[in-house]
Structure 1
Amino acid sequence: RGLLPDSQSGFRERFRLQTRLLLFLEDIYSLMSNSAPVCTIFVDFRAAFDQLWFLGCIGKLRNLGIPSSFLNWIESWLNNRRCFIEINGSKSRWFSIEKGGPQGSVFTPTLFITYNCDMGSSLSGCISHFFADDLAGIMAGQLGINYSSQCLDLEKRVKVFLDQLEYYSCLTDQPINLNKTEAMFSARAIGHPNFVIQFCHGTKEIIKWVHEYKYLGYLISSKLGWDLWLFVSISS
């Protein structure tokens, strides 16, 4: 049985980056065509592969039904690793590594996306798009009500999303890069809702609103037009 969701396209055979980008744009276009205001939050995880939690990873793989022979191999591959730091010829003492997959290994990304395969189901009320450690969460205001009420409803949905994201981050020991997590508002209507979105715990970091974002290597504007992409392409 498949463990990885279709919303994850990173490091998978027959899954392409361009397909993930087109599916992402299609979801926003579809919501905007129904006159719904849309908020997309682009989440950045801090040093994602280097934060892979060994105990949590093995425990989750066991719950997913991975055979014990594979689990034992993965556990041996992760554990009993040591390293030292060298600066200008001076070396630190050896110390144990308890987090992070081996750098350069082709298995580390696969293990990471498997460990986080349930992230999308933990973020209810949004459409999740994943590419490796990149997450884009799309939320829209309720249909069938006036625009102001839609924006208020959207604000509530965004706050629920952030609460769920923070909870998942703490549960899996997968820290969020608060400074690089940004939000983009899209709507057919003119005007931008004036509400503040921020994480409720820790430093209570306020998320920055942006009019454009480089998603998976492509510049996306809030109106989803091609003007910005054409301008950058011609300029380069």
Structure 2
Amino acid sequence: MEDVTVSGRITRHRSDARVTANAEKQTGETLEEPNTLQNQVKYSCRCQYGFREKKTTALTIMEATDEIINTLDKGKYAIGVFIDFRKAFDTINHPVLINKLQQYGIRGMALDWITNYLSKRQQFVKMVDVTSESMGIACGVPQGSVLGPALFNIYINDIFQVCKTLKMILIADDTNLFYAGNDLNEIINIINKELS
């Protein structure tokens, strides 16, 4: 895989600068063009339907339903485990994400820009005329941003490697696990072992 780079100048000093929605949108569009972030990172996890071109929640539901119906038609038992990771976007470890980006060939200015984009972020709460003190954000990717979903998918792209026995269907941070067999107790034991 070729390294991904973004042309332009990236400065490490951003003082009080904020990423505007327009600038982030343009950067996101640049990173989604052919031979850039979204297209260069080969998603090994074909089971991920969230934030992917030509993948929809309807396809997720259809695949899960087909999995269960086909199993029942064969006279077997099917068990589904449905997991929603709490605050999934808020808990992404930045050093781990940066390491994964490097493993996918993201280097140079593109990696510097993303690292800078994630670092030294602040948040505060404002209610009417009262504003809390700013607090640093040590982890997570910005929700509602153009880059957030792409970075999230890269972060969890290798989740399927943890569980080789169960069928996995993901829609963003919602994880659906399925297993089928003839012996219900054996299925339960296998699922419990995989989840431990």
User: TM-score w.r.t. structure 1 length?
Assistant: 0.61
For 1:14 and 1:88, locate their aligned partners in 2 and report how far apart those are by CA, in whole Å: 42
The Cα RMSD (Å) is: 1.8
* Match in the other structure for 1:139: 179
For 2:105 and 2:193, locate their aligned partners in 1 and report how far apart those are by CA, in whole Å: 30
2:138 is aligned with 1:105: no
For 1:103 and 1:155, locate their aligned partners in 2 and report how far apart those are by CA, in whole Å: 36
* Match in the other structure for 1:162: 195
For 2:102 and 2:44, locate their aligned partners in 1 and report how far apart those are by CA, in whole Å: 15
For 2:122 and 2:56, locate their aligned partners in 1 and report how far apart those are by CA, in whole Å: 35
Question: Any residues of structure 2 matched to 1:1-236 within 5 Å, and which?
Answer: 2-87=42-127, 89-141=129-181, 143=182, 150-163=183-196
For 2:44 and 2:116, locate their aligned partners in 1 and report how far apart those are by CA, in whole Å: 23
Deviations 1:158-197 (A, max 9, x none): 112211xxxxxxxxxxxxxxxxxxxxxxxxxxxxxxxxxx
For 1:68 and 1:131, locate their aligned partners in 2 and report how far apart those are by CA, in whole Å: 31
- Specify the SS of the correspondent of 2:106: coil
Question: Mind listing any 5+ residue stretches in structure 1 that lack a counterpart?
Answer: 144-149, 164-236
Shift of 1:54: 1.0
Deviations 1:108-145 (A, max 9, x none): 0111011101111211210000111111000123x4xx
Structure 1 residues 66 and 160: CA distance shift in structure 2, 3 A: farther
Shift of 1:68: 3.5
Identity of aligned residues (%): 28
Conserved in 2, the CA contact under 8 Å of 1:4 and 1:114?
Answer: no
* Match in the other structure for 2:3: none
Number of aligned residue pairs: 156
Deviations 1:142-165 (A, max 9, x none): x4xxxxxx11211111112211xx
Structure 1 residues 156 and 74: CA distance shift in structure 2, 3 A: same
Structure 1 residues 125 and 88: CA distance shift in structure 2, 3 A: same
Conserved in 2, the CA contact under 8 Å of 1:7 and 1:130?
Answer: yes
Deviations 1:71-107 (A, max 9, x none): 2121111111112233464333222111121232121
Most deviating of 89-98 and 74-83: 89-98
Higher relative contact order (CA 8 A, sep 6+): 2
- Specify the SS of the correspondent of 1:59: helix
For 2:67 and 2:149, locate their aligned partners in 1 and report how far apart those are by CA, in whole Å: 26
